[in-house]
Structure 1
Amino acid sequence: MTEEIITRDSSAFKELRRNILRAIQAVDILIDTHRPAIGNEIYLTSEEMCSIFGISKRSLQNYRDNRQIPYTSIGGKILYPLSAIYKLLESRYVRALR
């Protein structure tokens, strides 16, 4: 029985390394795009809210202060329930005239 020695220069090592790097990239993408649910609810951060709606952090704070948007605060971090944001948008939807 002959055993092959794998070195850093061998093709088997290079292929293994490529596969590991691809797996790491796939995990990084999953980490960036995955939103864990808390009690079957998905929450957005303030940064995401500002980015999605194209508003400043100050405007977002004004909406919170005036109780115009739902939010929750956990350990000093403010989170916005996605389903409640959808309901708010739907309730204020105005059809365009044609």
Structure 2
Amino acid sequence: MDLITTKDKDFVAFLAELDELLEVIEEVVDNCKPALGGERFLTDTEVSKLLKVSRRTLQDYRTQGKIAFIHLGGKVLYRESDIEEMLQENYCKAWQ
């Protein structure tokens, strides 16, 4: 029986695969949120990343009535379906 050390190439490869698996699991956990009534709710940080706009721009959209939101206490939440609907309503088709 051979002794396995931290320098063993098979062991190093195994650890690398475990690291990759851990990254996938962390991504799934980060993106998986419990649904409330079948609806996902997003924070302003998540929506700003999704739409590639600043949080200040989101605040302007709220003030102008361009984006639906929920204000609960000091927290602002957005329904994922409202964001998708807003994007569809503002979609401009190519004309060529």
Q: What is the alpha-carbon distance in structure 2 between the residues aligned to residue 84 and residue 95 of structure 1? A: 20
Query: Do structure 1's residue 68 and structure 2's residue 44 form an aligned pair?
Result: no
Cα distance per residue 1:12-66 (max 9 Å; x no partner): xxxxxx9xx88xx476444312121112111111111111111111111000111
Query: Do structure 1's residue 82 and structure 2's residue 80 form an aligned pair?
Result: yes
Q: What is the alpha-carbon distance in structure 1 between the residues aligned to residue 25 and residue 34 of structure 2? A: 15
Structure of larger gyration radius: 1
Give the alignment partner of residue 47 of structure 1, picking from 27, 45, 50: 45
Q: What is the alpha-carbon distance in structure 2 between the residues aligned to residue 30 and residue 89 of structure 1? A: 25
Question: TM-score, length-normalised on structure 1?
Answer: 0.66
What residue number does 2:54 align with?
56
What residue number does 2:92 align with?
94
Q: What is the alpha-carbon distance in structure 1 between the residues aligned to residue 55 and residue 41 of structure 2? A: 17
Equivalent pairs, count:
77
When the two chains are superposed, the root-mean-square deviation of aligned CA atoms in Å is 2.1
Kindly, what percent of the aligned residue pairs are identical?
34
Aligned structure 1 segments of 4 or more residues deviating by more than 6 angstroms: none
Question: Which sections of structure 2, spanning at least 5 residues, go unmatched?
Answer: 1-14
What residue number does 2:10 align with?
none
Q: What is the alpha-carbon distance in structure 1 between the residues aligned to residue 69 and residue 91 of structure 2? A: 20
Question: TM-score, length-normalised on structure 2?
Answer: 0.67
Q: What is the alpha-carbon distance in structure 1 between the residues aligned to residue 73 and residue 31 of structure 2? A: 23
Q: What is the alpha-carbon distance in structure 1 between the residues aligned to residue 28 and residue 93 of structure 2? A: 37
